[in-house]
């Protein structure tokens, strides 16, 4: 089998045979061939600290995931048209992490598919089409969910805003309309859904629902003020809509104090969507909802996904959630997150270009600013690439790409945290 190991060859092959809008991170891209916990290794065996990837939630190449995958593939792998105890075991495990109102699980292959299904459920349950969603959101790559992903439909060359979608301002209390010194900011941001609801009703679409990343990630690692979502949900429900919490980035213990982001908001969604980390790299998406919503959807055509809920997927998904519990990775996210935030706050005091430090657990953002307070996109790109030179992988987000994103696997340890902080201090000193 032809297996190029030379980075230049791989890059040339990629340029020749892949679409031009499949983007690569870093001006000098990295080629990664092995992983272990929160470490990655390139083609020369050089180690990188993975401070960015949330998919390997319980760590890269976890032996327990390897073992269940191998074991199941040796036995058989089939679909939900046949009974298998792994399906119900996974559903029971997922539901054990959620409030009692959630009774029904749907297993699909990605976060995108789960959100796509969420839109169908919302429409089946309400008979309406209109959706309200915060600006700069992202829910996936298919036609249906791109329509509720302003990050894509408003991007250069994007398809533009659909008539049945109303955008509301992101509840960003650092840069948005209502700031942290305003005690009523949560309510003020939430009030912005009222004209959106009215617009959908006037256009005759009605309100099928509200979909949001519980903590907007591509929007800039934003933690909405407490109470924002519960207030939005109340207004959406009063208009007949259902509330969809996209927990693809925030769920499964990453936040440390909370298993899901909606718990922080003291909000109870009608549909919760999980993806990315739930398969630790195996393609897996999960949607959970109430019996009433699932019953409305069941009035329609049969629902089937060939690979969604496969025996293999169910075994891997359950193993991931078990590992989070067995290794107390949520506790580790809380402890390591606290250390990171502390260290980042010290850097905020020291460097003028650090405008804001925000986040929770291992979902963190560092907003970089120019001397006039505007978004420092260039500095952000510089820092991200310099961190890569020191073999630490981080990301950048936000409408102006000026928020550094730190979101490591939940296995990160004190040594890893110190490495991030020490290196970031050094790189920031190069700017100031």
Interacting residues toward ligand PMP by CB under 6 A:
110-112, 115, 138-140, 213, 217, 246, 248-249, 275-276
CB 303 within 8 A of CB 319: no
Q: How many angstroms separate the CA atoms of 88 and 271, rounded?
A: 19
What is the closest distance, in whole angstroms, from the C-beta atom of residue 68 to ligand PMP in the complex? Answer: 21
Q: How far is CA 214 from the centre of its chain?
A: 9
In the chain, count H helices and then E strands: 15, 15
CB 131 within 8 A of CB 166: yes
What is the closest distance, in whole angstroms, from the C-beta atom of residue 161 to ligand PMP in the complex? Answer: 19
Residue 285 or 416: which CB sits closer to ligand PMP? 285
Q: In b/e form, how buried is each residue of 154-186, taking b as 16+ CB within 10 angstroms?
A: eeeeeeeebebbbbbebbbbbbbebeeeeeebb
What is the closest distance, in whole angstroms, from the C-beta atom of residue 106 to ligand PMP in the complex? Answer: 15
3-state secondary structure at position 143: helix
Residue 110 or 423: which CB sits closer to ligand PMP? 110
Residue 244 or 354: which CB sits closer to ligand PMP? 244
Q: How many angstroms separate the CA atoms of 139 and 155, rounded?
A: 14
- Please give the full DSSP string across 167-234, using - where no structure is assigned: EE----TTTSSS-TT-TTHHHHHHHTHHHHHHHHHHTT--EEEEEEESS-STTTS--PPTTHHHHHHH
Residue 359: exposure state from Cβ atoms within 10 A (0-12, 13-18, ≥19)? buried
What is the closest distance, in whole angstroms, from the C-beta atom of residue 7 to ligand PMP in the complex? Answer: 25
What is the closest distance, in whole angstroms, from the C-beta atom of residue 107 to ligand PMP in the complex? Answer: 14
DSSP 56: S
DSSP 133: E
What is the closest distance, in whole angstroms, from the C-beta atom of residue 58 to ligand PMP in the complex? Answer: 17
Residue 118 or 236: which CB sits closer to ligand PMP? 118
Consecutive H or E run containing 88: helix 85-96
Name every residue whose Cβ is closer than 8 Å to that of residue 204 and which is 6 or more positions away in sequence: none
Residue 218 or 324: which CB sits closer to ligand PMP? 218
Residue 171 or 354: which CB sits closer to ligand PMP? 171
The number of beta carbons lying within 10 Å of the beta carbon of residue 289 is: 28
Residue 284 or 354: which CB sits closer to ligand PMP? 284
The number of beta carbons lying within 10 Å of the beta carbon of residue 299 is: 8
Residue nearest to ligand PMP (CB): 111
Residue 115 or 411: which CB sits closer to ligand PMP? 115
What is the closest distance, in whole angstroms, from the C-beta atom of residue 52 to ligand PMP in the complex? Answer: 12
What is the closest distance, in whole angstroms, from the C-beta atom of residue 280 to ligand PMP in the complex? Answer: 13
Q: How many angstroms separate the CA atoms of 187 and 190, rounded?
A: 5
What is the closest distance, in whole angstroms, from the C-beta atom of residue 145 to ligand PMP in the complex? Answer: 7
Residue 284 or 387: which CB sits closer to ligand PMP? 284
What is the closest distance, in whole angstroms, from the C-beta atom of residue 217 to ligand PMP in the complex? Answer: 6
Residue 248 or 323: which CB sits closer to ligand PMP? 248
Q: How many angstroms separate the CA atoms of 175 and 352, rounded?
A: 16
């Amino acid at each position: 089998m032809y297996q190029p190991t030379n980075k230049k060859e791989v890059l040339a092959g990629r340029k020749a045979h892949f679409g031009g809008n499949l983007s690569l991170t870093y001006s000098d891209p990295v080629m990664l061939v092995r992983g272990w916990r929160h470490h990655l290794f390139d083609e020369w065996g050089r180690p990188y600290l993975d401070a960015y990837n949330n998919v390997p939630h319980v760590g890269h190449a976890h032996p327990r995931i390897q073992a269940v995958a191998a074991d199941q593939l040796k036995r058989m792998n089939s679909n939900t048209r046949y009974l298998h105890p792994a399906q119900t075991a996974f559903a029971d495990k997922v539901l054990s992490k959620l409030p009692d109102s959630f009774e029904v699980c749907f297993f699909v292959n990605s976060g995108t598919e789960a959100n796509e299904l969420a839109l169908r459920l919302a429409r089946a349950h309400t008979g309406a089409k209109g959706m309200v969603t915060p600006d700069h959101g992202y829910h996936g790559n298919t036609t249906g969910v791109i329509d509720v992903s302003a990050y894509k439909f408003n991007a250069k060359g994007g398809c533009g805003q659909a008539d049945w979608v109303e955008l509301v301002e992101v509840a960003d209390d650092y840069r948005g309309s209502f700031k942290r010194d305003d005690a009523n900011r949560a309510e003020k941001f939430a009030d912005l859904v009222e004209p959106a609801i009215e617009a959908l009703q006037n256009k005759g679409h009605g309100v099928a629902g509200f979909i949001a990343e519980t903590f907007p990630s591509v929007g800039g690692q934003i933690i909405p003020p407490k109470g924002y979502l519960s207030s939005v949900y109340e207004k959406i429900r009063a208009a007949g809509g259902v509330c969809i919490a996209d927990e693809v980035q925030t769920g499964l213990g990453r936040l440390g104090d909370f298993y899901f982001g909606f718990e922080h908001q003291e909000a109870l969604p009608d549909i919760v969507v999980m993806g990315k980390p739930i398969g630790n790299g195996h393609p897996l998406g999960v949607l959970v909802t109430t019996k009433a919503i699932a019953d409305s959807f069941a009035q329609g055509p049969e629902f089937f996904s060939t690979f969604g809920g496969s025996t293999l997927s169910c075994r891997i998904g359950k193993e991931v959630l078990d590992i989070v519990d067995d290794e107390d990775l949520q506790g580790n996210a809380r402890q390591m997150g606290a250390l990171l935030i502390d260290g980042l706050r010290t850097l905020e005091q020291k460097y003028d270009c650090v405008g804001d430090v925000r986040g929770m657990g291992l979902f963190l953002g560092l907003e970089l600013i120019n001397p006039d307070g505007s978004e420092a996109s260039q500095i952000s790109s510089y820092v991200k690439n310099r961190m890569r030179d020191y073999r630490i992988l981080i990301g950048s987000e936000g409408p102006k790409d000026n928020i550094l994103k730190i979101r490591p696997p939940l296995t990160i340890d004190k040594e890893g945290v110190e490495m991030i902080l020490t290196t970031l201090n050094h790189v920031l000193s190069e700017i100031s």
